[in-house]
Structure 1
Amino acid sequence: MRLFDFRTEYRENPLGLATKHPRFSWKIASDENDTVQTSYRILVTDQRGRETWNSGPVQSDQSILVPYEGDPLEEETIYRIQVFVSDNHGKEASIEGSFETGIFDAHHFVAKMICPDFPSPQEACPVFSHSFSLRQRVSRARLYITAHGVYEAAINGSAVSDCRMAPGWTNYRKRLQYQIYDVTNLLGDTNQIQVTVANGWYKGILGFYCQPNQYGDQLGLFAELHLQYENGDKEVIATDENWTVRTGQIRCSEIYMGETIDTDSPEILEGSISTKNFDSSVLTAQEDEPVRITERIVGIRKITTPRAESLIDFGQIVTGVVELHVKASRGQVIRLRHAEVLDKDGNFYPDTLRQAKSIDTFICNGQEQVLRPHFTFHGFRYICVEGLDHFEPDQFIACVTHTDLEKTGDFRCSAPKVNQLQQNISWSQRDNFLDIPTDCPQRDERLGWTGDAQVFSWTASFNRNTALFYSKWMRDVASESSLEKGVPHVVPDILQSYSASAWSDVAVILPWVVYQIYGDEGILKENWTCMHEWVDYISNHCNDRGLWQTGFQYGDWLALDKEESADRTGATDPYFIANAYFLYVTDLTIQTADILGHRDAGAKYRKLYQKTLLAFQDEYYSNTGRIVSETQTAAVLSLYFNLARSQDRDRVLRTLISNIERHKNHLSTGFVGTPYLCHALSENGAHDTAVSLFLKEDYPSWLYAVNMGATTIWERWNSIHPDGSFDESGMNSLNHYAYGSIGDWLYRKVAGLSQIEPGYKSFLVRPMLTKGLEETSLHFDSVYGPIVIENSCKLGKIRLHVEVPPNTHAQIHLPEKEEILKVGSGVYDYEYETKTDLSIPRYSSDSTLAELLAHPLAKELFEQMAPGMLDGPMIQFAYQMSVTDMLGSAPEARPLFETIIEALNRSDQENQS
C-alpha cells in the first residue's frame, strides 16, 4: 500500500491559505483487492517544529476532506502535515504535505487602494511603480495584490506569476479576490515593483449594450509586499501615496474590443497618485484555480479568401489571444481580427461577435518581436491579418486561456463522430470556464448565465475538477441573492434580472452536484441559506393552489417546437417547467436538510413538496394521465423528476416516444429538456430510442454539427444551415456548452458510471449496450482514485474491464445479466458470449455525399453507374446535404444511391472480417 495525491483544500501544498480549519485528502494505492483504510493519524507541525495537532489513531475509513482540529493556526506560517494510514490487510503507509497560511482577517492589511490621476482622461493602461531597498537578506517574501480592474505585476522586470485576468470577476461590491505570490527569488538589494492595471470587468465595457463602469469609474491597485528577513524581522511595503504612476505601451484594452500595444514610441504621461475609500472587509483570498495559458496552438494554414483577406486558421475554436512573432518596420501597424467561422463562400465572418470588435493592434519597433495582448480574450478559430504582407502560419500562436482546471474524466468509443462530439464538449467547457462559467467567449455577452451553468454542471464535473471553481462562483451567487429578490439570471449580476426557473435553480442544484461528485458536505453547509431561501422565494410567490404561475420565465429556451417569431421559450407551458423545477429543487433541499441535520426544515419542505406535487398533478395531468403540454420536454421532466402519477408513467413514456416519432426520430428540446432527454428514455426501458435519437446525423442532432465541421458545441441546433448559411437571429454563438450536457448521459448510461454514495465512495457500474458503439472506455479520477470502465460487445463476445480504487466499493451490473456483483477495490475482467450485434451500417440515407466520397470505393462506383454525375452543379450544392435531402429534388436517383450505400457498407464489413 502507498499513499499519493495529498491535498489541502483540493490544492497541492497551497500558499496563502486563509481558512482556519483546512481539510486534508489523500488517495490510496494497493496491489491487494478489497483494500479499505481502517485508521489514520494526522500530525501537523509549524515552521518551528512545534506540534499543533496530533489526531492520534482514528478508527475511520475517511480519506477525503478531514478537517484540521488542532491549535489555532497562525497567520503567514508554514505548516507540515504527515498522514499515517493503516488498512484492513495490516499494511501501513504515510505521506507528507504542507500548507502556508495567509491573512485570516482582511482588516490586518495596511495598504491603501491607490488610483491614477492624469491631466486628461486616458484610455492607456496605468503603470504603477515603487522602488525600494532591502535592509538585509530576505528569507521569505510574499506579494498580496488585487485591483479594481485586472492587473499584471512584475518585480525587477520579471513577472510575478503566469496568471492572467487577475483578480478575476466577482461581485466586487461584496467580494474582491486577492492573489498571493512567492516572490522571494525575484528580489535583489535594490528593487522596483511595477503593476499595470486595465479596465477588465470592473470598469470595462460589458453587457448587451456595451456599457462601461459597471462597478466603478476609477481604476485602483491594492498591494502589500510582506518581507521576512533572516534575523526574524518583518517589513511590509504597501500601496500608498508614495507610489508613482504613468502610462505605458498598452494604449487601450477592453475585453470585448481588444487591445492596442505601441512598442515604437508611445506617448508616456506621468500622473499622480490619489487614494479612494475602500472597505477591506470585501477582500477574500484567491478561491479557485487561476486563469492561465494552458495550451499553445501554432497556426496550421494560411488562407486567401475570395475577398482577398489574409487569414490564419488554427483548426479549432478556442478562447484566448494570438501571439505574433514578427520583425516589421518601425511604426508598422499590424491588426489581428478574430472570428469563429468562415461564411459559405470562404470569407471571414465576424458577425457572431455582434458588437464585440475583437481587434488587437500592434505598433512595431523594427526589431524581432514577440507581441501578445495582456488584458483581453477572444473566441476564435480564424484571424484576419491586416498590415502584414508576407507571413507564415507558424508566426502566429493561439494561446488557449481559461481557468486551469485539472482534467479528471475521459470518454472514448468506437464511433469517431461521437469522439469528436466529446472533444467538442471538452473544448466548449475549456473555452467558457474563464474565472466564471460563461455562456459564450466571443460576443458582447460572456456572462455567467445560471441556467447554462446548472444544466451542464454534471458533465463539467466529470471532465474537469470543478470543486473550487463552482465553490467560488456559488459565493457570488449567494452574495447576489436574497429572499426578497430571489436569485439572478446571471452571476456576477450586471443585468439586474432575477428569479426564473431552471436559471435561478442553480442556487440549489450546483451545490448538490459538487456534493455528489466530490463528497464535499462543506458546500452544502455554506450555501444552505441560499438554497432554502430560493425555495422559500418560490413558495412566497405561489398562488392559492400552491403553484408558481406568475412572472417571466425562459421556458424551454431555444426549443424547436415553437416558431421562432413567437418567442424563444418553446412550446412547453413555461409554468409547467417552473413548477417541475420547483418540485425538483424542493426535493434536493429536503435531502440537504437531512444531511445537515436540519430536522425541522426537512419536515417543513417535505410537507411543501407533497402539497405542491398534488397541486401540480391536478393542474398538469388529466385523469387519464395526459399532459397539458404534450411536448418532449414536458414528458421528459415528468419522468426524470418523477412527477407523473405512477399509473400514468407508461402513458407519459408513450407520449414522449410518439412525439419523437412524429419528429422523424429527432429531438425538439431546448436548454431545459435536452439534458434529461436521453436519461429519461434510457431509465424507462427506451434506451434504443435514446440511442437512435442521439446518433442522428441530420438536423436537429448533436452529430449534425459534427458533420458540419464543428469543433465546439453550438448555441443553436442549426447555427449553420446545410447550405453553409447562418442563423440570423443575432444570437448565434458557435461556442455554447449547454447542449454539451449530453455528455452526462454518455458517461452514466452508455459507459455506465454513476455514484451511489457522494464522492463515488460507492458507485454503480452498469454500461448499457448501445447499438453503433461497439466499444466504450471511461476513465474518471475520483477523489478516491482512478475509476476505469472499458466495455466492448463485438464478434459475439461481451468484455468488461473495471478498476475500482482502494477505500471504495462498486456494484457491477453485467450487460445481459440479472445478477449484480458487489466488489471491493481491485481490477475485474469479465468475458462471455452474446448474440447482440451492436454494429450498424456506416452509411445510410442520413449520410452526406461528402461522407460517401470519403470511402475509397465511392468515386469508382459513381463513375461506373452514373458517369459524370459528380460534376453536376446539383451535386456540388448538395455536398453537405444528406442523401434523403438530395433525393427530394431527384427521387429517380434513389436506386442508384441505395445500391452504392449497400456496396460501401458491404465493403466495410468485409474489411472488418
Structure 2
Amino acid sequence: MAEIEVYGLSCNTRLNPVGIDDKAPRLGWKLRSERRGVVQEAYRIQVAENAAFEGGLAWDTEKLAGDRSVAVTYEGETLRSRTRYFYRVKVWANQGEESEWSPAAYFETGLLSGEEWAGADWISYALPANEEGHEPIAYLRKAFSLDRPVASARIYATALGMYRLFVNGETADDTSLNPGWTSYEKRLQYQTYDVTALLREGKNAIGFMLGNGWYRGGLGWKKTGNYGDTRAALVLLQVRYADGTESIIGSDGSWRGSDGALRWSEIYDGEYYDARLERKAWSRAEFDDSEWGNASSYSHPKSALVAQESEPVRIVNTIVPVSVWTTPSGETLLDMGQNLVGWVRFTVRAEAGTVVTVRHAEVLDKHGNFYTGNLRAAKQTIAYVCSGDGEETFEPSFTFQGFRYVKIEGIAPEQVPGRFVGCVLTSDLQAAGQFRCSDPMINKLADNIVWGQIGNFVDVPTDCPQRDERLGWTGDAQAFVRASTYNRNVQTFFAKWLRDLAADQQPDGGVPHVIPNLSIAGANSAAWGDAAAIVPWVLYERYGDERVLREQYASMKGWVEYIRAQGENEFLWDTGFHFGDWLGLDAKENSYIGATPRELIATAFYAHSTGLVAKSASVLGFADDAAKYAELRDNVASAFRAEYVTPSGRLASPTQTAYAVALMFDLLEEGTRQQAADRLAKLIEEAGNQLTTGFVGTPYLCHVLTRFGHADLAYKLLERREYPSWLYPVVKGATTIWEHWDGIKPDGSFWSDDMNSYNHYAYGAIGDWLFGIVAGIDADASEPGYKRIQIRPVPGGSLKFADATLESPYGEIRAAWHRRPDGGFDYNISVPANAAANVLLQGASKANATESQQSLDAARGISNVEETAEGLAFSVGSGKYRFTVKR
C-alpha cells in the first residue's frame, strides 16, 4: 500500500508563529505521496500544551470525514494568553492509506486581552532638537534582578515611533523596523520576543532605542507628525521561573533615558551617527546610568494594540559589491550589481572625528556619474563619525534606502574595497514560484519583477522605495497583487494591509489613495480605491481562506456604495477626480494621464468591483446581497455600453486601455467581444506592434489578447526589445521594474527628475501572464486556493520552452512545456496531493496526445477527456504527468 505523508504544517499560513492574538487560528497542512489521484478523505488534529501530547488535549477532532487541509479553524478549548500550543495531524486517503502523525508544529498566543498590559505604562523621554530640528534617538533602559532560575520569558513591546530592543547587550531578535506601519490611531502592532536564553539569574537589563520611524518622521513629501509629535515606548517582560512562579517588569517612570550616538534618523533622509558619543554596554546590567534621567509617563490608550499580523521585516540577504571605481567627476562609487532596498553595512578604521558619508542612488547619468535627481527631497544619506577606536562596524537602525550605487566620502578610495556590503531588507515572506523560459531576457524580466516586489514589500506595499514618497498606493497594489502571489506567499502581508484600508476607509465608504492613509494624499479614485474589492478577492482565490472576504466584506460593500452615491446616474461614475490610465503613453504632452476617458475607466471598475462584491456575498452565504449586487453589476455594464459603446459595437474611445478593461471585465455584449478584441489587436498593430497603456490597461492587455485568439500579438509585445516594452529596461541594464517605460531614454537621458522611480512594480503585473498564461498555472475561484488548478499553457512567440513552479497551499504545482523537433510539444505537469487540475493542451487531440507513452484513456489519474475547438481538455488528480503532443 502506498504511503502518504503529512508535512508543511502552518498556523495562519505561518510556520510556528509566536505571539498571535487570534482566538480561532486557522491550521493547514500538506500531503505527499508517490501515488496519483490522492485525495484526503478524513483527518485528525490534536492540539496540546506539550509536544508529547500527554495529559488533557486542548483539541482533538477525532477522525473527521473531509478533504479540507487549508484554513481549518481551531475549535478547541478557549486559548489562554502567553501559551504555546503544539499541534499535529494525521490523515486517511482515498485508497485506505493512513498516515503517521505529522511532526509537531506550534503556535504561541500573545496577550489576548487589553487588561494584560496593566503591568506596563507608556513612557517617553524627550530630548532637545538640533538646529535643523532633528531630535536624537532616545536610549531607554531598565536594570533588574531575577532571584530564581528562569524557565521561560517573553517581552511584549511596541512604540509610537520605531524601536530596537536589547536584552543584556544583545538584540532581542533579527527583525527590523518594528512595530511596522499601520493606521496607528486604530491599529498598533506589538511584537513578542522569546528572551529566555538572554536572561540569567541575577542582574539583567533591557535596552530600548526609540526613533521617529513612520509614526513621527517625515512622510509623504516629508510632512512630519502625521500621527503624533511624541515618541513613546510600551514594554512588558513576563518571566516564568522553574518553580512555577511568575514576575512582571513593565515600562514605567523608573526606566532611565538618555541620548547617545545616533543623533537623528529619518526614513527618507538617512541617519547621523557619532561613534564618539557611544555609551559602551548601555543595555547591559553593569552599566552605570546614574547620570541618565528618568523616563516620563505618557498618556496614550492601549486599546488599538494588536499582535504582529504578517511576517516581520528582516535582512534576508547580503550582497557584495561587484565593483569599486572612480567616476569621471572623481567620485568613489560602489556598484552593488542590483537595485535593492535596505542599507549598507560597513567597517572602517580612521581617526576620531573622521566623517564617513554613504550616499545612495539607483542609476548613473549618461556620463557615468552619480545621479540623485529622481530622489527629489529624499537625502538617502548615512553619516558616520568615527570614534578612532580601531575597526568600527556600522549599519542603520531606523531608515532604509533604495539603491544600486553607493558613493563613499571621507575615506581614501583604497580603503573602500572589501569593507562595504549591501543588506537586503524586506518583509520575510515565504518564496512561492519561479518562472523560467528559453529567452534569457524574459528570465531577467521575471527576476526583476521579484526584486521589485522584495524592495517594495517592506511591511506595506509601497510604490517606490527611494524618493520622498514610499507610500502604500492602492492603485499600484491592486494592479500587481495577482502577479505578487506567484512570487511570494502574500496572504498575511495583504491581509494586514487590508485591515488598515478598512480602518482608514471614510464614513461614506470612500477609500484613500494611500494605505495607511496620509491626509495629504487624497482619496477616491477609480482603479485605486477598487483595491478594497480586488485585493480581498484575489487573496480568497489564491489562498482559499474565506475569512479575508468575511473581514473585508463591509469595506468592499462600502466602496461600491460610495461609487453608487456619486453623480446623478447611480449606474455611471462620471464625477470626481481620477488618476485615469496613469502614465499611459497616449497621454497629451506634459500630462501624466493617458488618453482613455477617466469616466470610462471609472465606470468599468465600478462594474468590476460590484461583480466581486456579488461573488463574495455568494461565497459568504449572503444570498440577498449576492442577487442585489449581481443586478447592480449588470445595470452598470448596461450603462457603460449605452454611454461608451457605439451601436456598431465600437468603443467611443479607441484606445488600447479602453478595449482592454471593457473586455477584461466582460462589459461588452457577448456577440461583439471578438470584434472588439480584433479592433484592439488592430490598434496595437497600427501603433507598430507596441503598447500605449499605463497603470490601468497594462495588467490586462496580454490577458485579453490571449483570451480572444491574439496570443501571437501578446508574445510580440512581450518579446519586443525596443521602447516601449517590458524588455526595453532590461536592455538598458535594469534589475528591477521601472515606473516609466522610458525612465532612461535611448540616448541615456532621463524621463524627468520629477517622478522617475527605477523600482516601481506596477508594470511587473506582466508576471501574472507569464505564470498564468505562458506556463499556464492559475487558480479556480470555484475551488479556491488551488484546490482545483487550471493548467492551460499557451506556447508561443520564439520561446522553445517555459517552466514554472508554484508552492500552493496544497504543495508544489509545476507546468512546463518544450517544443519538439516535429513541431509538437512535451508537457510536464505536477499536481500536489489532495488537489486536482483541469488541463487544456492547445491543438491536441486524442489521436496525437499520449501520457507516459500511453493513450490518455489508458493512463492512470486522467478523466473527463474531451476534444474541444481549442484542444484537448481533461482532468487530472494529484501526481506527476508527462504528456506528448505530436504533429
Post-superposition Cα deviations, 1:423-473, rounded to whole Å, max 9, x if no partner, equal 110000000000000000000000000000011000001100001000001
Q: How far is the alpha carbon of 1:501 from its aligned partner?
A: 0.6
1:335/1:387 contact within 8 Å kept: yes
Q: What is the match of residue 868 of structure 2?
A: none
Structure 2 residue 782 is matched with structure 1 residue 760: no
Query: TM-score, normalized by length of structure 2?
Result: 0.92
Q: What is the match of residue 676 of structure 1?
A: 700
Post-superposition Cα deviations, 1:24-48, rounded to whole Å, max 9, x if no partner, equal 1000000111111010111222248
RMSD: 1.4
Post-superposition Cα deviations, 1:226-251, rounded to whole Å, max 9, x if no partner, equal 11111211111000000010011101
Q: How far is the alpha carbon of 1:270 from its aligned partner?
A: 3.8
Q: How far is the alpha carbon of 1:108 from its aligned partner?
A: 2.0
Q: How far is the alpha carbon of 1:485 from its aligned partner?
A: 5.2
Structure 2 residue 720 is matched with structure 1 residue 696: yes
Partner Cα distance (2:76, 2:355) in 1: 61
Post-superposition Cα deviations, 1:205-245, rounded to whole Å, max 9, x if no partner, equal 1112x111111111100010011111211111000000010
Partner Cα distance (1:202, 1:545) in 2: 39
Q: How far is the alpha carbon of 1:496 from its aligned partner?
A: 5.0
2:787/2:834 contact within 8 Å kept: yes
Structure 2 residue 378 is matched with structure 1 residue 356: yes
Partner Cα distance (2:509, 2:660) in 1: 30
Partner Cα distance (1:117, 1:264) in 2: 22
Q: 1:308 to 1:821 in 2, by over 3 A?
A: same
Q: How far is the alpha carbon of 1:544 from its aligned partner?
A: 2.9
Give 1:368's match in structure 2, choosing from 361, 379, 391.
391
Post-superposition Cα deviations, 1:467-505, rounded to whole Å, max 9, x if no partner, equal 100000101000000341501100111135111110000
Post-superposition Cα deviations, 1:779-806, rounded to whole Å, max 9, x if no partner, equal 1000000001121114224111111110
1:408/1:462 contact within 8 Å kept: yes
Partner Cα distance (2:372, 2:497) in 1: 30
Letter in 2 for 1:774: K
Q: 1:729 to 1:155 in 2, by over 3 A?
A: closer
Higher helix share goes to which structure? 1
Q: What is the match of residue 212 of structure 2?
A: 199
Partner Cα distance (1:564, 1:469) in 2: 38
2:374/2:752 contact within 8 Å kept: no
Partner Cα distance (1:646, 1:11) in 2: 43
SS for the counterpart of 1:92 is coil
Letter in 2 for 1:23: R
Aligned length: 832
Between 468-477 and 543-552, report the one with greater CA deviation: 543-552
| Match runs of 1:158-307 below 5 Å | 158-188=170-200, 189-208=202-221, 210-265=222-277, 270-307=292-329
Partner Cα distance (2:721, 2:535) in 1: 32
Q: What is the match of residue 10 of structure 2?
A: 7
Partner Cα distance (1:542, 1:108) in 2: 49
Give 2:799's match in structure 1, choosing from 749, 753, 773.
773
Partner Cα distance (2:349, 2:640) in 1: 69
Between 80-89 and 775-784, report the one with greater CA deviation: 80-89
Query: TM-score, normalized by length of structure 1?
Result: 0.90
Partner Cα distance (2:727, 2:503) in 1: 39
Letter in 1 for 2:125: P
| Match runs of 1:677-826 below 5 Å | 677-728=701-752, 730-756=754-780, 757-796=783-822, 797-817=824-844, 818-826=871-879
| Match runs of 1:463-612 below 5 Å | 463-484=487-508, 486-494=510-518, 495-544=520-569, 546-565=571-590, 567-612=591-636
1:321/1:378 contact within 8 Å kept: yes
Q: How far is the alpha carbon of 1:368 from its aligned partner?
A: 1.0
SS for the counterpart of 2:557 is helix
| Match runs of 1:404-443 below 5 Å | 404-443=428-467
Between 15-24 and 310-319, report the one with greater CA deviation: 15-24
Letter in 2 for 1:312: L
Give 2:80's match in structure 1, choosing from 68, 74, 77.
74
Q: What is the match of residue 452 of structure 1?
A: 476
| Match runs of 1:791-870 below 5 Å | 791-796=817-822, 797-817=824-844, 818-834=871-887
Partner Cα distance (2:302, 2:231) in 1: 16
1:786/1:805 contact within 8 Å kept: yes
Between 435-444 and 540-549, report the one with greater CA deviation: 540-549
SS for the counterpart of 1:344 is coil
SS for the counterpart of 1:577 is helix
2:373/2:753 contact within 8 Å kept: no
Partner Cα distance (1:156, 1:544) in 2: 66
2:508/2:558 contact within 8 Å kept: no
Structure 2 residue 65 is matched with structure 1 residue 42: no
Between 77-86 and 48-57, report the one with greater CA deviation: 48-57
SS for the counterpart of 1:584 is helix
Structure 2 residue 115 is matched with structure 1 residue 107: yes
1:141/1:227 contact within 8 Å kept: yes
Q: How far is the alpha carbon of 1:303 from its aligned partner?
A: 1.6
Letter in 2 for 1:376: T
| Match runs of 1:621-632 below 5 Å | 621-632=645-656
Post-superposition Cα deviations, 1:651-674, rounded to whole Å, max 9, x if no partner, equal 311221121112100000000000
Q: How far is the alpha carbon of 1:120 from its aligned partner?
A: 6.4
Q: How far is the alpha carbon of 1:99 from its aligned partner?
A: 1.7
Letter in 1 for 2:428: D
Q: 1:266 to 1:133 in 2, by over 3 A?
A: closer
Letter in 1 for 2:250: A
SS for the counterpart of 1:714 is coil
Q: What is the match of residue 637 of structure 1?
A: 661
Structure 2 residue 33 is matched with structure 1 residue 26: no
1:117/1:272 contact within 8 Å kept: no
Structure 2 residue 640 is matched with structure 1 residue 616: yes
SS for the counterpart of 1:789 is strand
1:555/1:573 contact within 8 Å kept: yes
Partner Cα distance (2:598, 2:63) in 1: 56
2:737/2:764 contact within 8 Å kept: yes
Post-superposition Cα deviations, 1:231-275, rounded to whole Å, max 9, x if no partner, equal 211111000000010011101111111101111246998444212
Letter in 2 for 1:192: A
2:129/2:136 contact within 8 Å kept: no
Between 211-220 and 538-547, report the one with greater CA deviation: 538-547
SS for the counterpart of 1:393 is coil
Letter in 2 for 1:107: E
SS for the counterpart of 2:541 is helix
1:107/1:280 contact within 8 Å kept: no
Post-superposition Cα deviations, 1:383-415, rounded to whole Å, max 9, x if no partner, equal 110001122432110000010011111000000
Q: What is the match of residue 19 of structure 2?
A: 16
Structure 2 residue 96 is matched with structure 1 residue 90: yes
Letter in 2 for 1:124: P
2:346/2:394 contact within 8 Å kept: yes
Q: What is the match of residue 165 of structure 2?
A: 153
Q: 1:75 to 1:49 in 2, by over 3 A?
A: farther
1:516/1:758 contact within 8 Å kept: yes
Q: 1:548 to 1:737 in 2, by over 3 A?
A: same
Q: How far is the alpha carbon of 1:731 from its aligned partner?
A: 0.4
Partner Cα distance (1:116, 1:219) in 2: 8
1:485/1:499 contact within 8 Å kept: no
Partner Cα distance (1:333, 1:627) in 2: 62
Partner Cα distance (1:250, 1:218) in 2: 18
Partner Cα distance (2:15, 2:658) in 1: 45
Letter in 2 for 1:386: E
Runs (4+) of structure 1 exceeding 4 A deviation are: 119-122, 266-269
Aligned identity (percent) is 43
Q: What is the match of residue 406 of structure 2?
A: 383
Partner Cα distance (1:64, 1:564) in 2: 51
Partner Cα distance (1:748, 1:168) in 2: 32
Q: 1:305 to 1:76 in 2, by over 3 A?
A: same
Q: 1:394 to 1:794 in 2, by over 3 A?
A: farther
Partner Cα distance (1:758, 1:22) in 2: 19
Letter in 2 for 1:448: G
